[in-house]
Structure 1
């Protein structure tokens, strides 16, 4: 594959300052063939900018000051019904670009999703980076989901196919991000890629991510953003893929000690959860299916409750009433929280897969993505 070398210099990181703020940005847009009471919304979450513009004869305009650079969205409200009435999750009529204090031109034919953005050097380089890695997760999610009618979205065959597709997409995208960093150590978008990797999770290999981080230009690493990313990588390297699983001893409903190392020789899923959460109830159902499917194989599940001590009885009741057929543990006082920190777990539900040799092989997968990976291990 042809190597992409970006020219963006180190000083582009966190573009700000008086000169940039005095200039500000202008976005001039044209959506050819669009008529009627349409509106376009500008959302720049990191820069705390939220604005709207009426589309007149297909044209719209925004002006403002970006105190920092970053990803922004233009969302088309084709019928002028109001932003709150636009289904943002399923809406595909939007355009993501990199906003800075430039004179930006947006040109589209009937729909923003097919629009192009010109006039901003940093956005040109973002587009080159985005193309190299295969696009954004959000775009892949929406484009794949909207290939079929909405009434099929909740069907099991589609959900299974969709989740398997997203798992493969994110895994391949991660590899492309590492390749990009290797080939462009001085590009701001190598730092941007590392930020995306650490924020999105997806079971990424933190050992290789750490190597990639240390390979980028020192000025990027030493910038405020670079230092934050470095600290995040260090935290997430606890319980990283490819490292030995830290041993622990926790206690089940009856107060019996459960030691992780006692399960050596099995594939073990550490499943961090809390009670009273609908998302976790759905995940419990999938875990029940996995426990039944692999009960005759060398496979174990250990659920680690992160409920506070005052909810210990509620936890014990839910385990009993839902007949969760695997090992359930809850540590005295800060026990489970200490274990979560030991594994770098950021929230719930969260699953970590340990192989028979006690090595962490997968983490931060849930739902069908986790089931897909387990099926590979249990072949």
Structure 2
């Protein structure tokens, strides 16, 4: 079967300012041609999520957008608004795109966007050192995005601060740097040895749940989602830990970053998660996730009976080992002496 492609010509008319930072308001004039029928959707990226900001009906193989946008920024193009779009960094008044309609947009090409060129190159590299990447292109929005999206969840507060300092000051107004600037303070609050912040959420039955009212055992506060493949693969290990230590003063509290209650409830049943589950169904806008600076899932915090955080992101054998240390036979014998 032949691969279908759309050849899109993008032209931007600047309404005010220019393409320099902070982001300049512009009106997108996007014309395209495609053999695909239906619609093309233009989406905006915000907090790890894409939301549709415009759509264009394909008529006689052609479509057009005239949409207010911010440049430079990350957008998405897709033929199905319910599926992941093609990631498109736009920083140039003119760009030309061959948008492959096959799965994952494998053969898509972009001309005229330096940011997209850099992002495409980044995706082909392995073992990227974020500080070196930023130093090579400190003023690119891609540097800010990569630090925000791919590295912030595995860096210490100090490392985040030092890498943000490498970015050009012109990036300060971007959504990425704004989030990055707030992360270190929150990460320090939820460091091992500190008290876990309290929160209230809603369980699967619609009842209110407050963390501070459920202390008294070792709690694994487990951030996950039905749509998260790595989370689902880790769930059997969490189930194993729960079954082994639930009668020794251990439990799990699941915090879902789902947006569909039906999918969330089905995953709980399918994976046999027989512990309290809560969610505000806000996806990456989850309030508990923000409170604990969770930027990637699966993620977890092991909380002692008095509310002190004693472990973070414990998975696989590491989780089993930590629980054995705290609640195993040797620990029980030591406590009884």
> Could you state the TM-score of these two structures normalised by the residue count of structure 1?
0.41
More strand per residue: 1 or 2?
2
More helix per residue: 1 or 2?
1
> Could you state the TM-score of these two structures normalised by the residue count of structure 2?
0.45
